Amino acid sequence: MSKSFSHLDEEGRARMVDVSSKAEEIRTASATGFIRLQPETIRLVNEQAIKKGDVITVAEIAGIQAAKSVPHLIPLCHTLLLSKVEVRAILESDGIRVSSMVKCVGKTGVEMEALTAVSVALLTIYDMCKAIDKSMRIENIQLTGKTKTSL
């Protein structure tokens, strides 16, 4: 087995990357994504008339919960003590834009947490609206920034 893969140990077994020698830093990451909706769906979301409830609020809470659950969802991700998770779902003329910002003090970045927050928030919107909108499309999930600052 090739030893060039950083996630494999000496015997070729999967492992987490060892970050113990890295310095703790303030780390942030932000992400965004979009779900395209039909005009009638947008109207119902705006009027809070979707049968499953308040789509915007539920999606934002789902995104926050997802960011906190990343090590349980994505193999080899480190468990991080997140100090801030912000998820915003904004209704636009053709759908809902979701953005996230995640922050921690740690030895590794929070990109996966930011991306997962957006992804799960968008999937929550999809789930809540699927009975009335068969043409929804999730688009353009992407990392929009990341920083690390010395303590």
Nearest to 98 by CA among 128, 130, 139: 139
Instruction: Count each helix (H run) and each strand (E run) in the chain, helices first.
Output: 4, 4
Which residue reads 């970045």 in tokens? Answer: 109
Q: Which of 9, 54, 127, 133 is catalytic?
A: 127
* 111-129 vs 39-46: helix crossing angle, rounded to 10: 100
The verdict on whether 127 is a catalytic residue reads yes
Compute CA distances 102 → 61, 106, 147, whole Å: 14, 12, 11
Instruction: Just list the catalytic residues.
Output: 127
